[in-house]
Structure 1
Amino acid sequence: MQCHLKPETTRYARQIILSEVGTQGQQRLRDSKVLVVGAGGLGCPVILYLAGAGVGTIGIVDNDTVDVSNLHRQILYAIADVGDLKVLAAKRRINELNPDIMVHTFDTTLNSENVLPLLTEYDIIVDATDNFVAKYLISDACIICEKPMVYASISQFEGQVAVFNYYNRHTQQWGPCLRDLFETPPPPHLTQNCSEAGVLGVIPGLLGCFQANEVLKLILRVGEPLSGQLLSIDCLDNTFRLLSINTKIQDRPPSKMLGVMTTPIWRNSDWLSPDALHDWIAKKVPFQLVDVRDVSEHQQGSLGGRLIPLKDIIKRQAELDTTRRIVFYCRSGVRSKAALLAVRSLDQEAELYSLEGGIERYLAIYPDEHYPVAY
């Protein structure tokens, strides 16, 4: 009997037959966008397995080049790649494995100017870095952008993995963040990366596989993510410990976020109160109002203005009129903060505001004012 399966069905046949995946799950994978920060020992297995599973768009952030000392653990690369940028070598390998995957490469280091624009384009952020400054930068940015962060760290024969900033759709609550586990980064003299402390190549491979598994679970909406839990692994004695993480930091104002960045990009004056917005509308002050929620949310009710979902704010920046004041709003004020910071990273001179408390607070104060505002 001849098989007449479509090429894509054939490629993913072994996972499509899983009841937790099926054709609908495979479509979710195809539609998903995942950013992997770091293309080293952790990032390599994550990237390979996400590409193998059919995640449609993968972004890779890394500014390093392939060194022969990487090859014992960074399984994406070969001798022929030595000296090449890791992001380009990784893209070549993914194209060989699965040419249907869209790969975006960023030969850079995350910083205060690029972290928010990079994160807004993706659904899930994978922390595959090897230093605490980057980890806290990613964690704080994920809070602002409302993105889940799949975290891992390794030290010699040990490793940890967790999912931070996960939004539980059933309880409508956010899970713990990295600062709930460790509020501040440890002093530099107490930490070492792999080149200083050493690592057995299989350890980051194992932890990277756990990270890839958590990403796939989040996309497919199956199982229990490692939210509120830290999986600690000691590979010398085969000990697996599942530790609980409690949410300690309830109030996470932007001034306390991105605290490891060299320059602040948020100012208290960026808030615009509902009363101030109401006054501007009444007096017909010239400004542009921008709703950064999703289309479905906008259709259910809005304050009007131009709809530019947060995920599109960078690529649609030409629609923003920076010759006037711009007010961003969302449900509660979190996504509008992310939009403001993303736009400010591209235009430091623009006069930008985020509606404090979002549309929820505005309509709580002015409940009868449902009208389009098209300034």
Structure 2
Amino acid sequence: MNVISCLKWLPKSYTYADFFQSYIHCTDEDASELDLDEEEEVQRDEITDEFDLDNYDGDDIPGEQFFTLSNSDEKLIIEDPEDVEVAAFPLALEVVPNLPNYAPLVAAGTYESQIDLWDMRQIDRLDPVMTLGSKKKSQKESHKDAVQCLSNSAHVVQLMASGSADKTVKFKRKDRGRACFKRVQVQVVQFSPFDASLLLTASFDQTAALCDIRVCKGKTSVTLDSEVESAVWKDVNNIVISMESGSVVQYDIRNEKKLWQLQAHKKACSSVQLVDDIMVTCGLDSKAKVYKITGGTPTKLASKDLNSGPLFNVTGSPDDKHLMGFGGEQLVLWDLDTIENLDSML
């Protein structure tokens, strides 16, 4: 059985002609022999596409899949995916878009203790272009157990945080790294999009904490009533956390105050995503739910059984904010604009 363990969108800007060079030019025909009309047609076709990247665990063969999406008569068409085998089962993905001297990269955290970065222009390479925290590096720079979560800083493109089953959070700047602090097995790391110095972490001891990366010291901590599944920043002062109990909760980090808590799913709420005034959740009950989160306690707008087994993640398209991708036994897309009377309910 294939299971999508993590899911990331690649922006539409990545889909210019010849982006995936190694696939386009893998035939015996040299690319230079394409006539102008054919090249223009390729560009016209690809510029309308979006690429969705997910990792899956199936038949004991770990790998990455690349899905091409295109619009036709107001319908989304998903073409057959390209499969790329990787060395170990993936647990986390992060897009690294602007690293100097490199094409866009995707970082993969796996059951191995290192982080592999793959060149998106050469997706059929046998080896990653860079490895962070490899076994050849100092033990202080490397994790000793599975890398369970990754976050790339929006403010410093060369800075990445990783959380591991070895109970540490580490920061890596290109091929250098250092441990920040120790916790119970780390499930979540998320750089603040609003403050370059803050990192949100959460672990299996039912706590979430903020770390000031300038001094590698905890700044705020909250205790929850269940193990953390995922967590995101709502704004500069608020975080939203989903839990194994199926609950979702919002905290104000200034005073560690709980603002609301709701029971979103009967089983674990595995992932939560925020888009403007909308919160989208998914769970191991195979359901996806949409809430309005202005004011006090969220108001449910829609619920749907996606019929894809347990759902492990939800993430929104960077080019179409209401287009959601869900990972379970297969990739599922839900355009929130298809929800009846969505605008009026918001």
Whether TM-score is above 0.5 comes out as no
Q: In proportion to residue count, which structure has more helix?
A: 1
TM-score using structure 2 length: 0.29
Highest RCO, 1 vs 2 (Cα 8 Å, sep ≥ 6): 1
TM-score using structure 1 length: 0.27
**The structure with more radius of gyration:** 1
